[in-house]
Amino acid sequence: MRKLWVVLAVVGVLACPINSSAECDQSEAKTLIKKVVNGGLASREDQTVTIVYTWKANWYSMSKDKQYSLAEGLGAVERCLRPGVTMRIRAAGRDVAKSGNFGTELFDR
């Protein structure tokens, strides 16, 4: 349950979109990524143009709004660090969300 509160806190911080590297705090972005990974919520794999998060917490227990906010926020943080990168979230062995320069999308359950 504590992990879920961490997720919600991260989502709250990430809710404001980060549009360009001039407007974002890269130090804070790195810290938020470490909190997600070190908190045991997800593992992170850098595949050059795509960052893949394998979600360890129960993705499906979150509402669609929370899932969308989380995907949008993590995508914004990743683009803060490396503009143009796409972020994907995998849960239970399949892609469940992606976020990139052209927006954020949740995939059907």
pLDDT tens profile 54-81: 999 889 999 999 999 999 999 999 999 9
CB atoms within 10 A of CB 55: 21
Rounded Cα distance, 80 and 41, in Å: 21
Calculate mean pLDDT across residues 84-109: 93
Q: Give the helix, strand, coil percentages of the chain, each rounded to 5.
A: 45, 25, 30
Share of the chain above pLDDT 90, in %: 72
The alpha carbon dihedral of 74, 78, 81, 83 has a sign of negative
The pLDDT-based confidence of 6 (bands split at 50, 70, 90) is low
Q: Per-residue confidence at 21, pLDDT binned at 50, 70, 90?
A: very low
pLDDT, position 19: 47
Judge if pTM exceeds 0.75.
yes
Nearest to 41 by CA among 28, 58, 29, 64: 58
Report yes or no: 57 and 41 within 8 Å, Cβ to Cβ: yes
